[in-house]
C-alpha cells in the first residue's frame, strides 16, 4: 500500500509539472570552424606523409596507409559539389620529408610556389597519418550466469591536415579521428590472441578515411543546432506562449514585459524566465 501511495504521488508530481511547462526549440547557427572568407576558393591538396618510408610506416602496412590516404582524398574531393570551391590534387605522395618535420609548418616560399603552379589560393597539406588497432577485454554474463571474456578490437584512423593561404599564412590545423568496432575474439588463457592486421582491414580503413574527408569539408560550413528551453504556462502566459510558438517574438516580448511587473512575485519571475527565452530565440533567428 505504501509503495502504491509513493507511486501515485510521483505520477501527480509529473502531471502537475507537465501541466505548468511547455518546451520550445531554439535553432542556433554555429559559425564554420574554418572561415576562408567570401568568394571562390581554389584548393590544392598535397600529401606530405610518405607512407612508403620505413621511418613512418612498417612495410607490411604500406598498402593500408596508401588506401587510407587515397580514400581520404576521395572524401575531400566532395568539395567539388560546391561551386564556390575548386579542389585539385597537386601531389598524392611527396617524398623526402623526415618524420620529425611532419608537424612543422611549411615554408612560406614553398606554399607560394605550390599555389602559383596550381593556380590556387589555398593549400591543404596532409601532414601525418596514423592507422592502428586498440583493444579491450570484455566480460560477458549470459542468461545462465556463465561468464566469458572476449577481446574486442577497434580500428582507428587519424589524419592531420593544415590549411594555408596563398601568402603562406596558416589558416587552420585539424585532427580528423574516426573509429569503428572491428571484431571480437574469445579469450583463451592457453592460446595467444592474434591481433588483427591492417592489411585485412582494407574495406574498413577506406570507409573511415572517406568519412574523415567529408567531416573536414563540414568544417567550412555553418551548423544548425536545436536547443530545448522550458516555458512556463498557465492562464497568464497563454497568449504570450501562443505568440512564441508562432515565432512572433516582438509581440510575445511586449506581453511578457508587462507580466514582469506583476504584483505577484511568482508570476513576475516566471515572466522574466519566459522573456529571457524569447530574447534568446529572437537573437538566434536574427543571425
Do residues 92 and 47 touch, judged by C-beta distance below 8 A?
Answer: yes
Do residues 195 and 60 touch, judged by C-beta distance below 8 A?
Answer: no
Taking only the tens place, the pLDDT of each residue in 12-52 is 444 444 446 788 888 888 889 999 888 889 999 999 999 99
Model pTM score: 0.72
Query: How much of the chain, in percent, has pLDDT values that exceed 70?
Result: 86
Closest CA to 137 of 113, 124, 126, 153: 153
Do residues 259 and 269 touch, judged by C-beta distance below 8 A?
Answer: no
pLDDT of residue 14: 43
> What mean pLDDT value characterizes the chain?
86
φ, ψ (nearest 5 deg) of residue 224: -115, 125
Q: For residue 49, with 0-12 CB atoms within 10 Å meaning exposed, 13-18 middle and 19 or more buried, which class applies? A: buried
- The residues with which 179 forms a beta bridge, in sequence order, are 156
Where, residue-wise, is CATH 3.30.160.150 in the chain?
41-221
| Strand-strand pairing, 122-141 and 41-47 | parallel
Higher-confidence position of 275 and 26: 275
- Topology of the domain comprising 41-221: Double Stranded RNA Binding Domain (3.30.160)
Angle CA 262–267–273, to nearest 5: 110
Amino acid at each position: 500500500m505504501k509503495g502504491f501511495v509513493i507511486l501515485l504521488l510521483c505520477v501527480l508530481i509529473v502531471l502537475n509539472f507537465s501541466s505548468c511547462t511547455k518546451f520550445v526549440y531554439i535553432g542556433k547557427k554555429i559559425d564554420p570552424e574554418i572561415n576562408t572568407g567570401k568568394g571562390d576558393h581554389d584548393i590544392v591538396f598535397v600529401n606530405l606523409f610518405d607512407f612508403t618510408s620505413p621511418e613512418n610506416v612498417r612495410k607490411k602496412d604500406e598498402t593500408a596507409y596508401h588506401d587510407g590516404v587515397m580514400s581520404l582524398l576521395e572524401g575531400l574531393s566532395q568539395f567539388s559539389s560546391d561551386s564556390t570551391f575548386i579542389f585539385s590534387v597537386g601531389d598524392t605522395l611527396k617524398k623526402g620529408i623526415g618524420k620529425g618535420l611532419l608537424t612543422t609548418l611549411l615554408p612560406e616560399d614553398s606554399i607560394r610556389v605550390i599555389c602559383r603552379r596550381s593556380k590556387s589560393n589555398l593549400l591543404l597539406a596532409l601532414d601525418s597519418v596514423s592507422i592502428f588497432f586498440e583493444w579491450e577485454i570484455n566480460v560477458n554474463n549470459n542468461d545462465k550466469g556463465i561468464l566469458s571474456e572476449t577481446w574486442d578490437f577497434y580500428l582507428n584512423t587519424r589524419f592531420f591536415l593544415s590549411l594555408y593561404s596563398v601568402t603562406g599564412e596558416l589558416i587552420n590545423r585539424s585532427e580528423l579521428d574516426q573509429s569503428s568496432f572491428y571484431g571480437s575474439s574469445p579469450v583463451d588463457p592457453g592460446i595467444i590472441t592474434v591481433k588483427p592486421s591492417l592489411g585485412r582491414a582494407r574495406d574498413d580503413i577506406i570507409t573511415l578515411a572517406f568519412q574523415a574527408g567529408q567531416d573536414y569539408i563540414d568544417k567550412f560550413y555553418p551548423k544548425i543546432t536545436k536547443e530545448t528551453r522550458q516555458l512556463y504556462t498557465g492562464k497568464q502566459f497563454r497568449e504570450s506562449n501562443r505568440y512564441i510558438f508562432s515565432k512572433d517574438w516582438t509581440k510575445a516580448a511586449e506581453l511578457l514585459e508587462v507580466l514582469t511587473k506583476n504584483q505577484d512575485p511568482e508570476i513576475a519571475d516566471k515572466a522574466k524566465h519566459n522573456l529571457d527565452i524569447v530574447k534568446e530565440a529572437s537573437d538566434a533567428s536574427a543571425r
